Amino acid sequence: MPGAYDAIIIGGGHNGLVTACYLARAKWKVLVLERRYLVGGACVTEENNFPGLTGFKVSTAAYVNSLFRPEIIRDLRLKNYGFELVERNPSSFTPFLDGRYLMMGPDASMNLREIAKFSAKDADNYPKYEKMLERVADVVEPTLMLTPPNLLKPGLGGLWKLAQLGRKFQKMGPHLAEAVEVLTGAARPILDRWFESEELKATLATDAIIGAFAAPSMPGTAYVLFHHVMGETNGKRGVWAYVRGGMGGLTQALAKAAKDLGVEIRCDAEVAKILTHDGAAVGVALKNGDEFRASKIASNLDPNLTFQKLLDPRTLPADFAEAVSRIDYASASIKINVALAEAPNFTACPGDQPGPQHHGTMHICPDQDYIERAFDDAKYGRPSADPILECTMPTSVDPTVAPPGRHLMSMFIQYFPYKLKDGNPDEVKEKFADRCFDILNEYAPNFKKSVLGRQILTPLDLERTFNLTGGNIFQGSMALNQLFLFRPVVGWANYRTPVKNLFLCGSAAHPGGGVMGTCGYNAAREMQKRW
């Protein structure tokens, strides 16, 4: 049997790599075991996505960064390993079929001018709306790096943490009710109260539903609204960015940092079993039969895989196993990566050379009712007849990801349910992609003829490729009952599990999905604490 390690990390997603780096910095002997041929999980750059085409460096899954923690970039000196953020400015462009468009970004005066094209009242309200979201973000953002207390047995430390958090909310005074609505409520009534222009509301509402199996009229969707005022790029708050060379630029930098810190990384190493002895994790067995032992194990996988597939169910208390089986993985997000001969030439903002309209997210969604109707289809198990498209073209600011003169587009699309009422996703996905292309072509008539290749990833494909249960992009839904004190299940939000020496370090844990690195960072801190 190979030598024993201080820690084994199951899965080399960005969070697993962060955990590995921090443990290795503390002089632990660490082994990372990754199922795929490369590390990075849903945060990778791959070059073999379009058969017959070379030179396209595709961010196969995640495509934009905002929330990756600056502390981690500094601590692990990721810039020395080639990690570079390329700002997106403007950050969003929404064209409409009547020839108008709405462009928004970090430039406050541009936002006012742009919104005023649709409503002077909304332009006036927008800075106040952003202030409201900032107030909520100011309370929530510091909790990202916290270990949530155990609500069931908080102890003195836990009660102190809860009291401090309660005090922060209390200090919001009359704004508290608004904050609670943002944290628990639906996006649509909030947007309807603040604004009158459907063009603005549709642009903001698409952010609220990203990755969720929900429409903006459903509770829990407002939570994502304040993400756009959080995070930073190169010290600038609320600015989102591409990673130079694709999202794998981050995970490859993490892997290099890990190796320099002495971490051993093995790819094509699928863990089939977590080995236990007397209720404690003692090692893992790979699919090929190899076994490795360690004092502590951290799983970068979701709870379904960790507890229901890799562990013998008899090692878990019945109430915990029951709570794990209730976790919601519903998903209806589909990703289409497209190689393009030229940039989309929007009728509303003409130009086939990369311009500001291509820098950020190009939203194809005319109004909130359109989203509701798209969700109605999904609710009944059908792909949306008229889906919502969020398109990005990183080549507009980072030419390194495509051959000269060519472009790369990420299309993040909703809704295409994991479970279809009729038909097999593999059989209907091409037709669905054709419908998405037809829609984009209505706004940019050169689009379809400029397509050189496409890769379609349905929720089922995301599950097959990245081992994400149900194709859920966040390793479990980000509804309030699955966040903070309740992530992954109540009583176990502290990265520990009922199996001694087994921890969770991926986005299934607090604070959840997104390329933040915080789950891995917090898990490493907890693993180093005495039991």
Smallest separation, CB 55 to ligand FAD (Å)? 22
Contacting ligand FAD (CB under 6 A), which of 149, 470, 506, 511? 506
- The residue among 253, 268, 289 whose CA lies nearest residue 77 is 253
Residue 131: Cβ-neighbour burial (10 angstroms; 0-12, 13-18, 19+): exposed
Query: How many Å is the maximal CA-CA distance in the chain?
Result: 71
Which lies closer to ligand FAD via its Cβ, residue 67 or residue 116? 67
Using the rule CB under 6 A, give the single segment among 58-66, 123-131, 191-199, 437-445 that binds ligand FAD.
58-66
One DSSP character per residue, 229-244 reads: GS-EETTEET--EEET
Q: Which is nearer to ligand FAD, 13 or 158 (CB)?
A: 13
In angstroms, the CA 357 to CA 345 distance is: 10
The residue within the footprint of ligand FAD, chosen from 137, 515, 524, 527 (CB under 6 A), is 515
Q: In whole angstroms, what is the distance from residue 15 CA to residue 321 CA?
A: 24
- Of the candidate spans 200-208, 212-220, 363-371, 514-522, the one that interacts with ligand FAD by CB under 6 A turns out to be 514-522
Report, in Å, the least distance between residue 284 CB and ligand FAD.
Answer: 8
Contact 5, 292 (CB under 8 A): yes
Stretch that binds ligand FAD, among 9-17, 311-319, 381-389, 432-440 (CB under 6 A): 9-17
456 contacts 429 by C-beta, under 8 angstroms:
yes
CA distance 323 to 156: 25
Please report how the helices 120-140 and 176-184 are oriented relative to each other, as an axis angle in degrees rounded to 10: 90
Member of 94, 125, 233, 300 binding ligand FAD (CB under 6 A): 300
**Of residues 238-297, those binding ligand FAD (CB under 6 A):** 270-271
* Peptide bond just before 415 cis, omega within 30 deg: yes
Binding positions for ligand FAD, 450-479, rule CB under 6 A? 462, 466-468, 473-475
* Least distance to ligand FAD, CB of residue 123, Å: 28
Of 125, 361, 482, 507, which lies in the binding site for ligand FAD, with binding defined by CB under 6 A? 507
Q: How far is the CB of 9 from ligand FAD (least distance, A)?
A: 9
- Cβ proximity to ligand FAD, 16 vs 249, nearer residue: 16
Q: What are phi and psi of 106, to 5 degrees?
A: -70, -15
Q: Which is nearer to ligand FAD, 49 or 300 (CB)?
A: 300
In the 8-state DSSP scheme, what is residue 192? H
Asked if residue 229 lies in contact with residue 51, where contact means CB atoms within 8 angstroms, the answer is no
Query: Is 10 a residue that touches ligand FAD (CB under 6 A)?
Result: yes
* Closer of 44 and 132 to ligand FAD (Cβ): 44
* Residue 359 binds ligand FAD (CB under 6 A): no
Residue 419 CB, nearest approach to ligand FAD (Å): 17
DSSP string spanning 463-503? HHHH--GGG-TTSS--SGGGSGGGSSSTT--SSB-SSBTEE
Least separation in angstroms between residue 156's CB and ligand FAD is 31
d(CA 97, CA 462): 32
Q: How many residues bind ligand FAD (CB under 6 A)?
A: 38
Q: Does 212 sit near ligand FAD (CB under 6 A)?
A: no
Contacts of 161 (CB under 8 A, 6+ apart): 146, 148, 149, 154
Candidates 41, 158, 249, 459; binder of ligand FAD (CB under 6 A) is: 41
CB of 451 to ligand FAD, least distance (A): 19
Q: Judged by CB, which is closer to ligand FAD: 35, or 228?
A: 35
- For ligand FAD, the closer of residues 12 and 90 by Cβ is 12
Distance CA 330, CA 470 (A): 6
Return the residue of 21, 31, 33, 524 that touches ligand FAD, per CB under 6 A: 33
**The amino acid at 418:** Y
Q: Does 61 bind ligand FAD (CB under 6 A)?
A: yes
Q: In this structure, which amino acid lies at residue 332? A: A
- Considering only 86, 298, 301, 343, the residue that binds ligand FAD (CB under 6 A) is 301
Beta bridge partners of 33: 10, 266
Q: For residue 255, what is the DSSP state?
A: H
Separation of alpha carbons 421 and 465, rounded Å: 23
Interaction with ligand FAD in 63-122: which residues (CB under 6 A)? 63-64, 67
In the complex, the residues that contact ligand FAD under the rule CB under 6 A are 10-16, 33-36, 41-43, 61-64, 67, 270-271, 300-301, 305, 335, 462, 466-468, 473-475, 506-507, 513-515, 519
